[in-house]
Amino acid sequence: MTSGRSRAAASFAALLAVLALTGCSQIAALAPVGGNGLAEVRFAAIDVLQQKNVALLTAPVCAQADTGPLVTCVGTSADGREITVTSSVASGAQLVVAVGGETIYSGALTEVLDEAARG
């Protein structure tokens, strides 16, 4: 009788552990949704590339300058062209997205993010 209770207790503990780990992974997956300025620039760049039907080999990877609000991102299109993105994490930031040296978007960062939020 005791071994039955022990198995039930062990099973319950295992279930709790699995649920706890699942919760952690779900919270980790939600973290980028809140985002920060750097993530917002990356998300906006990817939105622009999708709107312009640019297939990606490597999605833009962004970095913020050591000093100041400047953000630059670099990626590669499926056909091998370099993707460059420049923006800022400051209020009123302008986003510039270029593919193969040709600017495909230049405008307010918030406009791209707002449009994506509207769906």
- 32-80 pLDDT, tens digit per residue, is 444 588 899 999 999 999 999 999 999 999 999 888 899 999 999 999 9
Q: Is it the case that residue 83 has pLDDT exceeding 70?
A: yes
Q: For residues 70 and 84, is the Cβ–Cβ distance under 8 A?
A: no
In angstroms, the Cα distances linking 21 to 11, 12, 24, 33, 116 are 15, 14, 5, 20, 31
In this structure, what are the phi and psi dihedrals at residue 105, rounded to the nearest 5 degrees? -155, 135
The pLDDT tens digits of the residues spanning 88-101 come to: 988 899 999 999 99
- Residue 30 has a pLDDT of 40
Q: Write down the pLDDT at residue 50.
A: 95
pTM score, whole prediction: 0.70
Domain ranges for the chain, please list them: 37-118
